[in-house]
Structure 1
Amino acid sequence: MSTLDLAIRILPASETVGAIVTGVDLSQRLHPGTIQILKDALARHLVLVYRDQDLAPDDLVRYSRQFGELDPAPLSEWGRQCLPGHEEIYLISNIIENGRPIGALGAGESEWHSDMNFEKVPPFGSCLYGVEVPKDGGNTGFISAFAAYERLPDDLKAFIEDLSLKHDATTNSGGALRKGHVAPTDLTVSPGEIHPLVKVDPETGRKALFLGRRRYAYVMDLPIADSEALLDELWYHVTELTPSWHHRWRVCDLVQWDNRWTMHRRDPFPGDQRRLMYRTQIRGTTA
């Protein structure tokens, strides 16, 4: 461990998810020992917050790549909205230029979800960097998928143990249709990848609830009415009974999360207040 590593402090933000990291400058090339400390912290806390990080786009990309290969910016309702010259930096913004938004998701609420769960191999995680933040709203909330599962009643755990969920591929977390898609009319044949409702962390053996997002989801092999009732019950446990932690943004904050074992949401904010975020997405390696 280097002398610089000794300056790192990791303070839990809540009992179930999140930690504030101080004593590290992500604009610099980090010692391998420092990177391992941060990887261990992410595995333990699932979400890490770094305040006051003055990052150029190349700094954000370099840090993110310490955790894996990066995906290009995903398709939104306006196509692929990335930072010019950086296809791996996804713009999330409500700013309008030349009659169209420069980034995705606007100023509305983004409901609880995990990212790109409709893919065969969802992403490992993401880093989100605050370039411009609104004065009011726009906070990002997180839930541990481990905590969500562990708080379910035993009979419900037993019932969902071997069930699988089809994750809708047609809409984004803001509820807008993705480019080239139409709203499903029959959930049994709608597009989306199928994943177990209960996932197991191969490193710890802990079980997690893998819901992805609510809209157009379907529990395989159940009548649609039964699928809807079960999902309503599970989502009630997640959104009403599972502890969450919300991050209040400042300019130059970087928030990193493990997408495999968390869910997140965004509060709405006034549309006349600018918000510009840079996001990188770290490619997953296993389903």
Structure 2
Amino acid sequence: MINVIPSGKALCADVEGVDLSEPMDGNTLKLIIDAWSQHLVLRFRDQKLSDQALERFSARLGKLDAAPMYTAGTRVDVDSDFVTVISNVKIDGKPIGDLGDGESLWHTDMSYNEVPPMASALYALEIPATGGNTGFSNMYLAYETLPDRLKHRIASMQCKHDASRNSTGGRRGDYPDVTNPKDAPGAVHPIVRTHPTTGRNALFLGRRLNAYVMGLSLEDSEALLDDLWDHATKPELTWHQEWKVGDLVLWDNRCVMHRRDAFNGGERRIMHRTQIAGDKPVYVP
């Protein structure tokens, strides 16, 4: 018996009564997908997942995306092309995963790609005693509650999403430092994105660092993006996950942004993530 319990906040629900390590029938999968479409973020507690089981569940939702490029110097030892290690743990002085222990700023996973992933599933293997919580923001509501003047202004605008830095500010691969956001590498996407399944419009901001609104002066771009980010991350639009070992959280990158709190670097945090392939963002007025 599956039970879906809404968080009471702007997004997220707990899904009880399902073991994601076991084969899943079509009816169960449909219930999960329906709840996901309604609540945007789902949490499954007390799971015991191998990387293969994590892949298997994620692949029921769509084709898996390959793991993204890690920060330079990361040494990952995972027998999967589709599992990304998010960790601050180091072995022989080298990190075994990405994103360390610092704050991870509001972002959408891999929005710098021409075709970003539609979803991410993050599974907790080890967590610190405090900190490292993850916040999520409802980008449907962020768009719908924008002042009319901003809605009209951004209707046909596009934004460049920087590929050179990750969400903690670490340099990705061998990309050079960006000194002018206009010159940043990365894909250009509409600021308002139409969800291909629900048909609803959402803000699609990606990440703030080195973002640039095409066609504007740098000063005007920065001012507009500051306004949009301030609005999209208001507390009433968010929900925050306090992690427990065995939690799996699934979210829709097409209508959700997320961030992470910093935590004590002397404590271990190991998370494994999969990503489901998506579609090129478009805006349908």
Report the TM range for the smaller structure's normalisation: over 0.9
* Corresponding residue for residue 123 of structure 2: 129
Please give the secondary structure, in 1, of the residue aligned with 2:264.
Answer: coil
CA 1:82–1:37: 2 relative to 1, 3 Å: farther
* Corresponding residue for residue 259 of structure 2: 265
Counting only pairs closer than 5 Å after superposition, residues 92-103 of structure 1 correspond to structure 2 as: 92-103=86-97
C-alpha displacement of 1:81: 5.6
Does the CA-based 8 Å contact 1:81-1:90 persist in structure 2?
no
C-alpha displacement of 1:168: 0.6
Identity %: 48
Does the CA-based 8 Å contact 1:83-1:89 persist in structure 2?
no
Q: 1:191 aligns with which of 185, 194, 201?
A: 185
Please give the secondary structure, in 2, of the residue aligned with 1:126.
Answer: strand
| Distance in structure 2 (CA, Å) of the matches to 1:84 and 1:164 | 37
Letter in 2 for 1:149: Y
Q: 2:220 aligns with which of 206, 226, 229?
A: 226
Q: 2:48 aligns with which of 48, 54, 60?
A: 54
Q: 1:29 aligns with which of 17, 20, 23?
A: 23
1:149 to 2:143 alignment: yes
C-alpha displacement of 1:79: 6.0
CA 1:204–1:73: 2 relative to 1, 3 Å: closer
Q: 1:17 aligns with which of 5, 11, 15?
A: 11
1:38 to 2:29 alignment: no
1:69 to 2:71 alignment: no
Question: What runs of 5+ residues in structure 1 fail to find an aligned partner?
Answer: 1-6
CA 1:68–1:121: 2 relative to 1, 3 Å: same
| Distance in structure 2 (CA, Å) of the matches to 1:262 and 1:243 | 10
TM-score (norm 2): 0.95
C-alpha displacement of 1:239: 2.1
With 155-164 and 80-89 compared, the bigger mean Cα shift is at 80-89
| Distance in structure 1 (CA, Å) of the matches to 2:77 and 2:134 | 22
CA 1:56–1:23: 2 relative to 1, 3 Å: same
Does the CA-based 8 Å contact 2:73-2:95 persist in structure 1?
no
Does the CA-based 8 Å contact 1:116-1:122 persist in structure 2?
yes
Select the structure that is richer in strand.
1
1:86 to 2:75 alignment: no
Question: What runs of 5+ residues in structure 2 fail to find an aligned partner?
Answer: none
| Distance in structure 1 (CA, Å) of the matches to 2:76 and 2:142 | 33
1:180 to 2:179 alignment: no
Does the CA-based 8 Å contact 1:165-1:218 persist in structure 2?
yes
| Distance in structure 2 (CA, Å) of the matches to 1:47 and 1:9 | 15
Q: 2:104 aligns with which of 98, 110, 115?
A: 110
| Distance in structure 2 (CA, Å) of the matches to 1:109 and 1:185 | 22
